[in-house]
Structures are given as structure tokens and as C-alpha cells.
A and B are shown apart, each in its own frame.
Chain A
Amino acid sequence: MSDAAVRRPTHRRFGTALLAALALAGVRAEAVEGASADVPALLIVAGVGGTPEHRERFSGWARDLCAAALEAPAPGRVRVLVERLPEDGEPDASCAPVARSTQEELAREIEAARGPEAAGAGLVLVLIGHGSAGSSPRFQLPGPDLSPERLGEMLSGFGSGPVTIAHLGSAAGAFLPALAGPGRVVLAATRANETNETRFPRHFIAALAGDEGDRNKDGRLSILEAFDFARRGVEREYEQEGLLRTEHALLDDNGDGVGSLEPEMAAGMDGVLAGRRALLIRTEEAVADASSDTPEIRRLVAERDALAARVDVLRETREGMEEEAYLAELETLLLQIAELAERIAALREKTS
């Protein structure tokens, strides 16, 4: 993808913003993926390092990412593929690599992720390693390297099912056009022509490992939140070191194959699907809310989420309101949410 094709968010006029916000109100209340406790399968692939140092780094990141995912209160299926299997086994057996990261093993794991054993919540595929640019971009694996087209074939069985591909290596943007499509979130650590080693993976892992990535504190880390956290972390790091940034992460989820540098949850923009889709559920409360057997809790949670969606709408209309009126209206909604939250907590306490 050429740089010229990168889409930047534009200023929207008030009317459009309001429409977008209204659309999102529905999104929050009705269509958040992962609102159930089901979380997608996570398949982590560490490619060829090229040097012992890089091999260790990539497999270490894969292990860290796995560990962060398994820390969640209700983790999904997590599988790790690495360039070279450790001779003495993994210290953390739960994140032990299941196979080498060859094309064959990758295809097998992808197939398994949509098989009967899978939870049916889709797949998050994370590629860690070196990518190459040019007319035939590749992700370097042991054996034949992986082309975006071949990866697309492997994923075709999911149809328009919930699939997220996070290519965290260099020249990742080159994979974006071939993998984009309905139901797909494609995240690339760099533009197509950026071939330097990336810093994005560290920050992406940090988003899963800590609380700070969950920007709206709802206990669910969305793909968009993880992407934003990592993107901003990379920007900050380059800025602090006084370096020119050589990686610009992209996200596409509207299927047009053109990545956005700053996706957001606004109608027509990249970011809506990624904002809805949970990467993992971070808190016990969120798990409990999503899978509660108590109808009263489910009703109150729905009511709370509907009010939260109204906050989203109100926020989008802020520019046209007097400051104090806005704050008063916001406070009214938030107090209602707070009271509901108290009631939910009390019920949780009672039913636990």
C-alpha cells in the first residue's frame, strides 16, 4: 500500500458527529463483541529471528503476550508457535510453544481455531518477526516465507467471521490490502515501506499485560484500545529519544484495505469494529457481568450500558453546548450509572 493511500481522520462537522454518536449508542448497547464471556482464540506466531538475539526476542515476546492473555480471568484458547522449539521445555508450561512456526503448522492451528473445540468467538492471529517489503511482501517463517495471499487462503474458512490479524513486524502494512475484508480487523505495526525493526510489539504486549490500555475502564480491552495504546507508546518513545519515527501503525476494519493511522469509533471510519471487538476481558466484574446467571444483574448491566452509551452521545455533542449545562447533564447521567453500579455490585455480592 502506498503512503498516499493512508487515510487520516478528518474534522467532522457537528451534524455528522452527532449521527456517528447516535450510531455508536446502538453499538455499545447492542453489538459489543465479547460482551459474553467468550473470548477469541489467540494464535501467536514468532517468525524467523535471523540472529540468536532476535530469535530470543521474538519468542520472548510471544511468551509474554501469551502470559498476559492467560492472566485474564477468563482466558480463551492461546497457542504459541516459534521458530525453534526449546530443547529443555518452557519454564512456563502454559505458554509452551506447541509447534514450530512453519506454514504447515500455522495452517493447522488456524484450522483448529475454527473447529469444534474452539469457542466460536473467532480468532486473533498475532505475527511477531521480520517482514519484507517490495512487490512480493513476506513474513519470514522457518521454511517458505508467508505471503499475504497465502495467509488469506488459510483464513478463508472463517468467511466473514470475527478474525483479527495483528502483524507486529516490519513492513506489516504490505499485508493489509490482501487480508482486509468483512468481519476482519487488520492491524499493522508499520506502513508497507517501513522496514526497520519495530517497537510496536512491546507496547502491544504492555496493553494486554496492564490496566492502562483499557481506556474506558469497562474491563474489556478492545482491539482498538490495544492498538491506540501501542501506537501512542511508540510515538512517545520516539519523541523522548528525539528520533524520527520509522514506524507508523495502521488499522483497517472497514474492509477497504486502506489502513488508518488514527482509527476511531465514528461511523464510516476505521475503528468501529475494532472498538467493539474484545481482545480480552480484563476484570472479574466484566466476566461476571457478561456471563451472569442472574436476570436482575443482566437487566441492570444492560441498563447501565445503555446509559453509558448516552454518555457517548452526549460527549459527541459537547461542542454545541454551554459548558455548565453539559457538565450538569453529564453528571445526571453518571449519577444514574453510579447508582446502578452500586446495585449491581450489591447483587453480585449477594449472589456470589
Chain B
Amino acid sequence: MRGWPCGPARAVAVLTPLLVGLPAATSASQDETSASNGWPGGPETGAAALRGGSYGEAEAAYRAALPEPGARLGLAETLRLTGRYREALETLEPEAGASPVPAELLARAEIHLEIGEGEAAENLLRRHIERVGPASDGSSLEAETLLGLLELRRGKRQTGLARLDEVIAAYNTLPGAVFRARELAAVGKAAAALGFQSSGLFRDALRVFDEAAVLDPGDPLPPLLAAELLLDKFNTAEAAESITTVLRNNPRHPHGLFLAARLQDRQIAALAEGGPPPDALAEALAVNPHFPPARALEVQRLLEQDRREEAEQRAAAAVDALPDAPETLAALAAVRLLAGEDPGLFELEARYLHNWAGDPLLDLALASAAERRRWYQEAAQRSRAALRRSPDSAAALRLLGLNLLRLGDVGEGRKVLEDAFQRDPFDALVKNTLDLLDELDGFTRVNSPPFEFVLPAAEADVLRPYVEALSREAVDSFRDRYGYQPPETLRVEIYDRSADFSVRTVGIPGIGAHGVCFGNVIALESPSARGIGTYHWASTLWHELAHAAAMGLTDNRVPRWFTEGLSLLEERWRFGDGASLPFYTALRDGQLLDIPHLDDGFVRPTWPGQVGVSYFHASLVLEHLEREYGFAAILEMLEGYRQGMDTPQVIEGILGITPKALDEAVDALLEARFGETARGLEESGPQGQGTPLHPPPEPDRGIEALVARADAAPANFALQIRAGVALQEAGLGAEATERFERAAELAPEYGGPDGPYRYLSRLYADAGEPDLARLSLHDHLKRFPAAYDEWLRLAAIYSETGNPREAGAALTSAIEAYPMLPEPHERLAEAAAAQGLADLEVRERQAVLASGAPDRAGALYSLALAHFRAGNRDAARRRVLEALEIAPTFDPALRLLLDLRREG
């Protein structure tokens, strides 16, 4: 486990304690217009309005006060924040013959920088420095920092680095200097930019930002810079604090809102079911419709949702508005990359590089876009290009390393991430991933071509046979059905800790999913990572392998909704599944998305539970496609995606209908199959949001009241279940049965853990109806295959009625739900022995042993006996000796040992 580094490596912070709380404006900077440390002061009214985000009021106040000092700067800042960049620049143009004010030179440079006009910015910054003196005498720390950063981005690496070093040196060596907040912020920026040389500088940068914020609590710049740095390190909690500071003062600060949107993206990515956040990005763009980073983020989101046309339109419009802004150029380039428009992409790259030869932003944007589309090879190539542009970019190293891991190149990926960690040990994604890789060293690796299984050492003996057999079955099935050819190595990693799985998937703990497929690498949670009855590992593995097939068949171009729908459909066919209550309520409430926007339900959910509902919805679309157009149509659609078509093109080109027509057809199917039930769910909406169907009846009202409510709402599924549970608990079996039968009629495809068939199976058994009990269990398990205990019950019924084959099948299904306990293995071994299935008995006896049977000597003896029956004499001898090593007077084992000796 890596520790976070501690202690600054350079002395940036040495002087800073002197600064806190000192009065401002003693610096040599010539900001004669500033009332408070560089933040536009000017007329009080305008400044107050600007700080609070009342831009209209601020503009009016500044314009009215234009002859007054500071009004020009205040007005320009107002115009900049609201995206009127040209007007802002014009405002600051010196009048003919007048000498430019240094503060205005700086402000103009910052505006040019924001809209990507590097050359103009550079000229202005140089003029500023000429006017006020170099950094070495403390006069132009802001300008020198901006210029140094600009030089780095424009490919003048050595000059830029030297300039930033000078800024820090000046800061450290100027005796008795007292700095303004903006100057401190500039020093912090310089320190952050040099952080790759010495990790302590990152910490120093944050410290300086904090001190600047203390010095001028109303200035949004220091917390904005801190937030950006923290977001870059994936420290979302602390970034959120800084963003909140900015937005508390000015809820309409476009940069603050943009960072809030970035933060929201992180949280959505990590916690997809976390709930709908307000749309900070839309708010940012409402304030400043041209803010380049926000425009780029908007395009990125559209691309994530596979809304390619809209993405292209928005990106092109943004580039038209501000043709040099690197963020929007990069966004448009990403659109072109994903569309496969190479000439357009080359043109943009050339245009970008003309101005920003040393800035990896475009390559990183392309790498990220490719990564989000699961084009990991492309992402790795683009990350390498970013590194050629900027060899010290820890972000590029992170992207490269993570994508190499996704491609299965663990050795090289780890090396690259180690390199990234050297440059930036505060990057949480990198640290978490390296810690995980350290842990993986202790995992068991099983090479079984084309598979490479990576299993928790303590669980490997239990999991291996089932994981291996199921993986083969799945790949064989996909080979037959889809013509899928697995790669040379298909790596399957299983994690016994949810946090480790989450780190493998998104770099941070907290993801809500159970499995992920990167194409040729699959990761999923071990059954032990979750409780019994809640997680079905086998269907998850099957689901992810289906993704591997769909991604392999389309060169990773299949859209999210299609591959999720296909995977769930495959999963449903193999294991069964049912509709969830949230699905019914979403259908009832018209919350299901249309097909071209179905990806949104996965990548940008807007209400809790939408991801799960979207899975089921997508699988129903795929089911409809296969039924209506035949399986060949699905294969053709996959091929269409491989060729780069988007969903509307695939639908129109292959199915010969419009997306709207397909939507209507699917809607008709859903209406016919689920509509009546969904409408009958009136009043049961809240249960659809995750509360159990059957909380105990309200204590003050009792069963009678609950039954009366259920009587009054005979179409209310949840109420029937709740009434049934209450009646069953009160010993009123016949009445309870009636309720559950009614519920089963209402929602025959309901697939929750507390579905009516589960209760009915018990009630029928109690009523002496074993056949009905068995059928109800089947009905329940078809809809909720994770019900481990019910599989065991079903197996018991079959055993008791003399059906060992069916009992064995039920026990196998129990193992597919949860293989970590000895019981199903023990019973399956017994069933196998009874049927003379020696190999199966051996496998199950091995599993009993591996699953930690408390009677180890007994388990070893039984395994020895199974080997003996299977004709494996050496293995039998070995195991019986192990049993007797623990229990030397264990009579049956002693007899087996004698038998082995006498026969051998």
C-alpha cells in the first residue's frame, strides 16, 4: 500500500505564514484601480453586484461609472464572465495615444487566453512585464506565471519551466515582501505546474491557494484554482468544498458552475444510482454561452450519450464562435475521431498544434473520448501522443496506464502507472489502482486458454471449476450464435472486495455495478463480496462475456444500450429474470426513454433506479428485434455498428424503419405485456423506489385495516403482497394464498426477491400441495434466480420425491447463485454419488473442502472416497492420508486406507 507523500520538497510555504491576515496592496504591482487585491473594485455597487453574480446590475453600474477608476476593469470582467469577450477587450483598449495601464494589459491577456488567442495574450503579457519589471523583483508574478504557462503550452518548454521557476524563486527569496491574493494565486499556479518535478509542490500550491483565499475571501480565483487542482487529483470531497465556497458567494459564477458540473460527472460516473443532481453545466452556459471549457464538456456529454449529430452541431458552433479556443477545438476533434472523419480530424489537429504545440489537451481529449467509447487501443495511442507533446503529463501517463490495464497488458500498464505516481503521487486513481495491483500479486492465476482467470487466493479452489466451466459454456454459445471468436487471451478477474472491483472499474470505490467488461478483460465481484440472495455471480459473468462478444464483433463500437440489452437478454435466456417494480412504475409514468436516447439511461441517469430500468428496457427492445426481424437482424445491426453507423442509421438501414416507428412498435409490445399491470400499480409508487414491498402493517391500524385497503384497491400489486404477508404471519394461510395469487395475476413477470410465488410455494407446501409448491418455486426462481435458499428448497423437494436429476439441477443453480457454502456442494455430491456420476462427485467433494467445511477430516475422507469410486487411486490415497493426519482413529478412513492397500 502506497502512502501519500508528506512534506513539501520546496520552500514555497516557508514565507507564506507571513502573509495571512496582512493588509493588502503593498506589492509593487501597479494596480491603481483595485480596491482589494486585484479583484475589480471600482464603483462599490458594480463590484458588489459582480461578486454576487448580478451581472446585469454590475454592467449598468460600471457603465454609469465609467469615468471612475476601476470601472473599465470591472466592466470588462463582467463582460468576460458573461461570454462577451470581444466587448470586454474593446472596453480595455486604451484610447488613442494613451499609454496602456498594466492591470488592463494583464486583464486583456487573460481574456485572450480564455478564448485561445495565445499569441495576442503572449504579446500583452510581455508588454506588461516590460512596464512593471520582471518577476525577480516581485513586480509581475501574475504575468510571469501566465506567460510561463503559456510558453509551456505553446511548446517553449524550457523557457516556460525556467520562468515558472523564477516565479517561485522570487516568491521565496524576496525579503519582507507582502503579496496580494492574486499574486499568491499565481505562485500557486506555478507550483502546481511544476508539481511533476517535486510532488511537494502540489501541496504547496494548495496551501498558497488557501492563503490567498484567506487574504481575499471574496475573490473566486483562489478557490477555483484549488478546486481544479483537487479535481485533477480525483479528490472530489475537497474539490466540492472549494466549489461550494465560490458558488456560495456567487451562484452564477460560470467557472464555478462548470467545475460543479465536472464534479457531478465524477459522482454520476462513480455512483450512477446516486440521484439526480441539478444541471450545473446548463446554468454555467446560461451565464456564459461561450465559455470554452463548458462548451467542451457539453459536447463530451453528448458524445457519451451517442448523440453524435447534436455533439457535432454544438462543437462546430462553439468553434465558429471562438475559433481558437483549444477546449472546443479538442471537443470538435473528439467528435470527428468518433465519427471516423480522419481528414476533418487532421485539419483540426494541425490548427490546434499551430498555437498549442506543447499542450496535450487535444490528445487527452481524444484519448478520453476513445476511452469512454471503450476504444482502449485508440485511447492508449492518443495518450502516447499526449506524452510526446508533454512528456511530464501525469494525466497522460494515467490514461495510458489505465487503458493498458483494460487491454490486459498488466505489466506495461503497471509500469506506466508507477511512472505517473512518481510524477503525481496525489492522483487518487493512480494510487488506488497501484494499490490494487499490489493486491493482485497475491491472487491466484489460472491459465486455461483462451481464458486467464485471476481469482482471490482464498476462494480460487471453490470458484475455479464453476467460473471456468461457465466461461467456456458462454463463449461456446456466443461462438455458435454470433460467430464470435474470442481473443487469444480473455482475462477474467474476480474480486472478493467490492471496493477493489470498483477501483479496477473506475479508479475509486463506490461503484454500484457488479461486473464490467473492457473488451478482452472482464472484472466482476466474487459472490463473497455480496450477501447471499442479492447477487448472482454466474449471470453477471455470462452478461459480461456477452459484452466481450458484442464488443469483439463490433471493434468496440456497439453503443451502450445495445450491448446492455443484448447481454441482459442472453442472461435472461440462460438464467431467467423478471421485471422490477421500478420498471413497471417507469412504464406507467412514461419515464422510459426512446431508443435513440436510451444510452442516457445508462450514462446520465436523471432519477434513482433509471440504470436498472434501462437495462431491462433495452433487453426488451432486443427481444422484440429478434422476434420481429429474426436473429440475423441483430447480427446485421452489430455489423452496422462495427462499420461506424449510429443507432438511427442502423435502425433505418437494417430494419428499414424509422427509429420512431421502432419506438412505437416497442411501446406497443410493452403496453400489451406490462401496461395493464403498470397502471394497476396505482399508489404503489413509493415501493418502486427501493422500499420493501411488505413492511409490517402500521401498528395503529393492524391487519384488518391493511386487508381493507387491499380490498379497496384490488389492482394494487404491492398492497396485495403486503396484505398477504400480514395474513400469512397471522396464520391465515388460505386468505394469504388468495392475496398472493391475486398479486401473481396482477404482475406475472414481477422479478423481485419478494415476489408472490415465493410465498405461494410455502403456503402450498403447508397446505399439502407439493406439486403446486414446486411449480411456484420454479415460477419464483425463473424471475429471481439469485434466491439461493429457494434453490435449496426446490432441490430438497426433488430429492424427497425421488428425482435426483432435477435435484442436481436445482443444486447446480444454487451454486450459480452462491457457491461459497458447503451445503449445496455436499448435497450435489450425494446426488452425484447416488447416480454414479463419479467425476461430478469428485468436483463437488473438492468444493465442499474448499468452501471451508467445518468437518475437515470428514470432507477429506469423502473426497478420498469419491476419488476411489472414480478410479483415482493416487488422489484417494493422498486425501485419505490427509484425513487421517487430522483424525488418526477415524474408522471409515482407516478402512478405506486398508482397502487401498489391499487392492493396490
Q: Which A residues are within 8 Å of any B CB, using their own CB? A: 211-213, 215-219, 229, 232-233, 236, 239-242, 285, 304-305, 307-308, 311-312, 315, 327, 330-331, 333-335, 337-339, 341-342, 345
Give chain A nearest CB distance to B120 CB in angstroms: 60
Tell me the smallest distance from the CB of B449 to a CB of chain A, in Å.
30
Chain B interfacial positions (CB closer than 8 Å to A) = 528, 530-532, 820-821, 852-858, 877-878, 881, 884-891, 893-895, 897-898, 901
B890 & A216 in contact (Cβ 8 Å cutoff): yes
Q: List 27 A-B contacts (CB under 8 A).
A: A211-B858, A212-B854, A215-B887, A216-B888, A217-B889, A217-B890, A217-B893, A218-B889, A218-B890, A219-B889, A236-B852, A240-B532, A242-B531, A305-B889, A307-B888, A311-B885, A315-B885, A327-B881, A330-B884, A331-B897, A335-B897, A335-B898, A341-B889, A341-B891, A342-B894, A342-B895, A342-B898
Q: A212-B858, A311-B885 are in contact. List 8 more A-B contacts (CB 8 A).
A: A217-B890, A218-B887, A327-B881, A330-B884, A335-B901, A338-B894, A342-B894, A342-B898
Task: Please measure, in the bound complex, the distance between the C-alpha atom of A333 and the C-alpha atom of B858, giving whole angstroms.
Answer: 20
| A240 and B821 contacting across the interface, CB-CB below 8 Å | yes
A216 adjacent to B898 (CB under 8 Å)? no
| Identity of the chain B residue whose Cβ is nearest the Cβ of A243 in the assembled complex | B531
Q: Chain B residues near A337: list those with CB within 8 A.
A: 884, 888-889, 894
Question: In the complex, what residues of A have CB within 8 A of residue B821's CB?
Answer: 240
B881:A334 contact, CB within 8 angstroms: yes
Chain A positions within 8 Å of B531 at CB level: 240-242
B856's partner among A215, A239, A327 (CB-CB below 8 A) is A215
Given the known A-B contacts A236-B852, A304-B889, are A334 and B857 also in contact in the complex, defined by CB atoms under 8 Å?
Answer: no
Query: Could you tell me the distance in whole angstroms from the C-beta of B500 to the nearest C-beta in chain A?
Result: 14
A240 near B887: Cβ-Cβ < 8 Å: no
CA distance in complex: A211, B877 (Å): 23
A310 (CB) vs chain B CBs: closest residue:
B888
The closest CB in chain B to the CB of A240 belongs to B532
Are B887 and A338 interface neighbours, CB within 8 A?
no
- Do the beta carbons of A217 and B885 come within 8 Å of each other? no
- Nearest opposing residue in chain A for B884, CB measure: A334
Complex: chain B residue closest to A239, CB-CB: B528
A331-B897, A337-B894, A339-B898 as given contacts; A216 in contact with B881, CB under 8 Å: no
A212 to B855: give the CA distance in the assembly, Å. Answer: 5
- Across chains A and B, the number of contacting residue pairs, with CB separation under 8 Å, is 88
Please give me the residue from chain A that is nearest to B898 by CB atom: A338
Q: Please, how many angstroms separate the alpha-carbon atoms of A339 and B899 in the complex? A: 11
Q: Given known contacts A216-B888, A216-B890, A337-B888, is B530 in contact with A242 (CB within 8 Å)?
A: yes
* CB contact under 8 A between A216 and B855, given known A240-B820, A334-B897: no
How far apart are the CA atoms of A305 and B887 in the complex, in Å? 11
With A215-B856, A229-B854 known to touch, is A338 a contact of B897 (CB < 8 Å)? Answer: yes
Report chain B residues within 8 Å CB of A315.
885
Q: Which residue of B lies closest to A286 (CB)?
A: B889
Report the nearest A residue to B852, measured CB to CB: A236
B902 CB to nearest A CB, Å: 10
Report chain B residues within 8 Å CB of A217. 857-858, 886-887, 889-891, 893
Chain A residues with CB below 8 A from B895, complex form = 338, 341-342
Specify the main secondary structure of chain B where it touches its partner: helix
Does the CB pair A330–B887 fall under 8 Å? no
List the B side residues contacting A216 at CB < 8 Å: 857, 886-890
A233 to B855, CA, bound (A): 11
Q: Ordered nearest first, which 6 A-B pairs have the shortest CB separation?
A: A217-B887, A217-B890, A212-B855, A338-B894, A308-B888, A311-B888
Give the chain B neighbours of A218 by CB distance below 8 A: 887, 889-890
Cβ–Cβ contact B857 & A330, under 8 A: no
Q: How many angstroms from the CA of A206 to the CA of B613 in the assembled complex?
A: 44
**Smallest CB-CB separation from A314: which chain B residue?**
B885
Residues of A with C-beta under 8 A to B854: 212-213, 229, 232-233
With A and B bound together, what is the CA distance between A215 and B857 in angstroms? 7
Which residues from B are CB-within-8-Å of A312?
A: 888
Q: How far is the CA of A153 from the CA of B895 in the complex (A)?
A: 50
Chain B residue, CB-CB nearest to A232? B854
| Contact of A334 with B888 at beta-carbon distance under 8 Å, contacts A241-B531, A242-B531, A341-B894 already known | yes
**How far, in whole Å, are A312 and B884 apart by their CA atoms in the complex?**
10
Cα A305 to Cα B888 with chains together (Å): 9
Q: Which residue of A lies closest to B861 (CB)?
A: A217
Bound CA–CA A265/B894 (angstroms):
24
In the assembled complex, which residues on chain B have CB atoms less than 8 Å from the CB atom of A331?
877, 881, 897
Q: Which residue of A lies closest to B877 (CB)?
A: A331
CA distance A242 to B853 in the complex (A): 19
**Residue in chain B with minimal CB distance to A236:** B852
B899 nearest in chain A by CB position: A338
A341 surroundings in chain B (CB, below 8 A)? 889, 891, 894-895
Q: Residues of A contacting B877 with CB < 8 Å? A: 331
Q: Which residues in A have their C-beta under 8 angstroms from that of B888?
A: 216, 307-308, 311-312, 333-334, 337
**Known: A331-B881, A335-B897. Contact between A285 and B857, CB under 8 A?**
no
Across the interface, do B885 and A330 meet the contact criterion of CB distance under 8 Å? Answer: yes
A331 to B895, CA, bound (A): 13
User: Which residues does chain B contribute within 8 Å of A307, judged by CB atoms?
Assistant: 888
Smallest distance from the beta carbon of B669 to chain A beta carbons, Å?
39
With the chains together, A49 CA to B289 CA distance in Å? 69
CB distance from A280 to the nearest CB of B (A): 17
CB distance from B803 to the nearest CB of A (A): 27
Q: What residues of chain B lie closer than 8 Å to A327, measured between beta carbons?
A: 878, 881
Residues of B within 8 A of A236 (CB): 852
Q: CA separation between A343 and B895, bound complex, in Å?
A: 12
* B502 CB to nearest chain A CB (Å): 15
Give CA–CA (A216, B895) in the complex, Å: 16
| Chain A positions within 8 Å of B889 at CB level | 216-219, 304-305, 308, 337, 341
How distant is the Cα of A335 from the Cα of B821 in the complex, in angstroms? 33
Q: How far is the CB of A263 from chain B (nearest CB, A)?
A: 17
Chain B residues lying within 8 Å of A342, measured Cβ to Cβ, are 894-895, 898
Q: Which of B854, B857, B885 has the most CB of A within 10 A?
A: B854
A312 to B888, CA, bound (A): 9
Contacts of B890 in A (CB 8 A): 216-218
State A338–B896 Cα separation when bound (angstroms): 9
Q: Check A330/B856 contact, CB under 8 A, given A216-B890, A218-B887.
A: no
Nearest-neighbour CB distance to chain A for B745, whole angstroms, equals: 35
Residue on B with the closest CB to A345? B891
Cα–Cα, bound, A337→B896 (Å): 12
How many angstroms between the C-alpha atoms of A312 and B893 in the bound complex?
17
Bound complex: CA A307 to CA B898 (Å) = 16
Question: How distant is the Cα of A211 from the Cα of B885 in the complex, in angstroms?
Answer: 18
Cα(A345)–Cα(B885), bound, Å: 21
Nearest chain B CB to A154 CB, angstrom units: 34
Min CB distance, B44 to chain A, in Å?
Answer: 58
- How far is it, in angstroms, between the C-alpha of A305 and the C-alpha of B531 when the chains are bound? 44
Residues of A within 8 A of B858 (CB): 211-212, 217
Most buried by A among B855, B856, B881, B894: B894
A315 and B885 CA atoms in complex are apart in Å by 7
Q: Across the interface, which residues of B come within 8 angstroms of A219, CB to CB?
A: 889
CA A216 to CA B887, docked complex, whole Å: 4
* B891: chain A residues within 8 A (beta carbon): 217, 285, 341, 345
Which residues of A sit under 8 angstroms from B897, Cβ to Cβ? 331, 334-335, 338
Residues of A contacting B852 with CB < 8 Å? 236
Q: In the assembled complex, which residues on chain A have CB atoms less than 8 Å from the CB atom of B857? A: 215-217
A337-B878 Cα distance, complex, nearest whole Å: 17
CB-defined contacts of A241 to chain B, threshold 8 Å:
531
Complex: A308 Cα to B886 Cα, angstroms: 10
Shortest Cβ gap from A60 to chain B (Å): 20
Write the nearest CB–CB distance from A93 to chain B, whole angstroms: 28
Of B532, B885, B889, B893, most buried by chain A (CB within 10 Å of CB) is B889
* Bound CA–CA A311/B885 (angstroms): 7
Nearest Cβ distance between residue B900 and chain A, in whole angstroms? Answer: 10
Chain B: minimal CB distance from A20 (Å): 17
